[in-house]
Amino acid sequence: MERIVFLDRGGISVPLRTPCFPHQWQEYTDTRADEVVERLADATIAITDQVAITAEHLAELPNLRLIAVAATGVDHVDVDVCRHQGIAVTNVRNWSVSVPEHVFSLILALRRNLLAYHDVVQGGAWQRSEGYLVQVEPMPRSLSGAKLGIIGVGALGSAVAALGEAFGMEVLYAERKGAVEVRADRTPFEEVLAQSDVLVLLCPLTEESRGMIGEAELKSMPRHAILVNCGRGGLLDEAALAKALEEGVIAGAGLDVLTQEPPRDGSPLLDLKQPNLIVTPHVAWISDRSLATLAEQVIGNVEGFVLGHPRNLVV
């Protein structure tokens, strides 16, 4: 009989249906790193949303057959060790309709300068105004005719592109940084940075993509440009971005991810208190519809593996 352990069920706030094979089920709201081995000691299947399963953990888990990741990114699981030990890893794909919506929530709030205008009303400036409106700098910018650069052309990147085109934006798909050849539907990485009015990061975190946006890349962007990261926090240098925002190197940034989550040790970005920076606590993926789709995929991945027709395999 399979023994399934969900290490961090607390993040998936929708019902999960019961797998259609004999099993034992144990779930925890969350799990600390030093609790992983103990809780998975007898498990044949582990489900994890964001709890890391490292090489050190895996060395002490001989019964484990499958790690079902309740997310798309798998950078918190040592997939190389899983491959070596014959442990399958699955993830969920094409499930979050809410991430593209969140991307454009950030884009619109920044391009329309909504936080600054909200502060104007909350501070009473509109109520005291002699005219019918109060204008603040910078001037709101339209999306129609603007260039939207996308780094990470998967399902989410394509969905963001479709929304951008609906707003009348010109979409540029970035080629990989440092690529020797540029594919027919891509634009060189450096050109995308230089041309984009809005730059969106949606790629996974790998050794190649870690820190891909730093001081030099930010300086190559137009001064009126905004940067949105709903991919992974490690894709950019947070200190460099904080400095760029303070010095006006770029016009604004919207982030749903940070390098450390939760950011218990702080971040240079969290020290900034200005309306051209919006940080949300890794919630772009959350909505009623998205979570329901994710939950069904997680159980479906587990069932597929056990019943002999695995799907969404990473390794």
| CA dist., res. 227 & res. 199, Å (int) | 5
Active site residue 289: no
| CA dist., res. 162 & res. 104, Å (int) | 11
Active site residue 191: no
Of the residues 208, 223, 261, 289, which is catalytic?
261
Phi-psi region of 234 (alpha: psi -120 to 50; beta: other; left: phi over 0): alpha
Q: Of 109, 97, 110, nearest to 158 (Cα)?
A: 97
Active site residue 282: yes
The residues, ordered by sequence, that sit 6+ positions from 55 with a Cβ below 8 Å of its Cβ are: 78, 81
The residues, ordered by sequence, that sit 6+ positions from 243 with a Cβ below 8 Å of its Cβ are: 215, 249, 268
The residues, ordered by sequence, that sit 6+ positions from 66 with a Cβ below 8 Å of its Cβ are: 44, 45, 46, 87, 88, 89, 90, 302, 305, 306
Tokens representing 227? 């940067």
Of the residues 232, 238, 264, 303, which is catalytic?
232
| CA dist., res. 3 & res. 290, Å (int) | 27
Catalytic residues: 232, 261, 282
